[in-house]
Structure 1
């Protein structure tokens, strides 16, 4: 999880007011609720072949439908796709993107998504690779699932492995859109005993704040206004 450590250090928030805003504007649940679809999915079983314990959480943000760009509600799939574009092309991911580009962008990885323009316009179909660290492994009208933890050039089981689910669904009863960033990190290289996931507690906490940042800045792309 070295890349996560470096990213979290460099993107740590300063200022209690900003922390307070993120805490009020987003909700984080950890671990994932019993019966969460990701933990019962074929994609999870495919990568976590040993069923090892995992670090799990989901960051959630609700926005009134009235604040969402109307054109994104016309065609199924557009809302989740635009939110995904906002996560990767938005302000929250800029530091990690720059770090990865400086370290891993080269002729071998030139076909991947690196620039803000590319990240803001990709369709994020399966096999799309993002900054040599994320690969889209599944896509539905409401969710885009990426594998993370190591370079996608390494398709084998890994000590650092995981799935990251970017989602957008409409709650018609509450007239809100629910945006989610769901994370599940695990060691897929071997069987690991115990019930503790791979992240120490303090890194888990920093990761959750980073998820809040990505969630908040990603949502800016789908709203009619900044606030």
Structure 2
């Protein structure tokens, strides 16, 4: 989790006003419920082959349908894709992207997505690699699943591994859109005893606030106003 430790503190805009805004406009669920679809997903079974304990959470945000750009509601999949573009191409990821570019952007990673423009236009098909630290491993009309924890050039088992599930769905009954960022971090290389995930408590707390930042700044991409 070294890269996470280094980038959280530089990427997170830790002012009292920002924290208050993030806290009042988002919701947190942790741990994930036992029936969460993530546990049955092919990516979780593949990369956490020892079923080790994980650091896990979901941050989400509900937005009234009339605040969503109407063109994103006309075709299935457009909303989740545009939200994903907002997460990676937006303000929340700007500082981590710059840090990773300085350290890892080189000829060997030239085929990956590095610029805000690339991240804002990608269709995020499985196999897409981002800033030498993320790779899309699943895509549905409502979810884009991204592997993290190490360079995507290391396709095998990793001591530091994890999944982000970027989601967007319509709750017609409540007249709202639900945007979510689900996280799960684990050791995927060897069996680890116990029920404690890999992150210490202080890092887990920073991670949750950083996820809220990604969620909120990503949501700006799909809304007709800042919320």
Question: Same fold per TM (> 0.5)?
Answer: yes
TM-score grouping bracket, smaller chain normalisation: over 0.9
- Per the alignment, in what secondary structure is the counterpart of residue 23 of structure 2? helix
TM-score, length basis structure 1: 0.98
Aligned equivalents of 1:14 and 1:84: distance in 2? 23
Alpha-carbon deviations, 1:199-218, whole Å to 9, x = none?
Answer: 00110000000000000000
Aligned equivalents of 2:124 and 2:159: distance in 1? 26
TM-score, length basis structure 2: 0.98
Q: How does 1:99-178 map to 2 (within 5 A)?
A: 99-178=99-178
Instruction: Specify every segment of 5 or more residues in structure 1 that has no aligned partner in the other structure, as ranges.
Output: none
Q: What corresponds to 1:21 in structure 2?
A: 21
- Greater shift, 25-34 or 198-207, is seen at 25-34
Aligned equivalents of 2:37 and 2:172: distance in 1? 21
Contact 2:58 2:180 in 1 (8 A): yes
Instruction: Specify every segment of 5 or more residues in structure 2 that has no aligned partner in the other structure, as ranges.
Output: none
Q: What corresponds to 1:190 in structure 2?
A: 190
Q: What corresponds to 1:30 in structure 2?
A: 30
Q: What corresponds to 2:41 in structure 1?
A: 41
Alpha-carbon deviations, 1:116-154, whole Å to 9, x = none?
Answer: 000000000000001000000000000000100000000
What stretches of structure 1 move > 2 A for 4+ residues in a row?
Answer: 11-15
Aligned equivalents of 1:82 and 1:20: distance in 2? 26
Contact 2:11 2:94 in 1 (8 A): no
Aligned equivalents of 2:129 and 2:136: distance in 1? 7
The aligned length equals 227
Q: What corresponds to 1:215 in structure 2?
A: 215
Aligned equivalents of 1:94 and 1:11: distance in 2? 8
Aligned equivalents of 1:138 and 1:12: distance in 2? 27
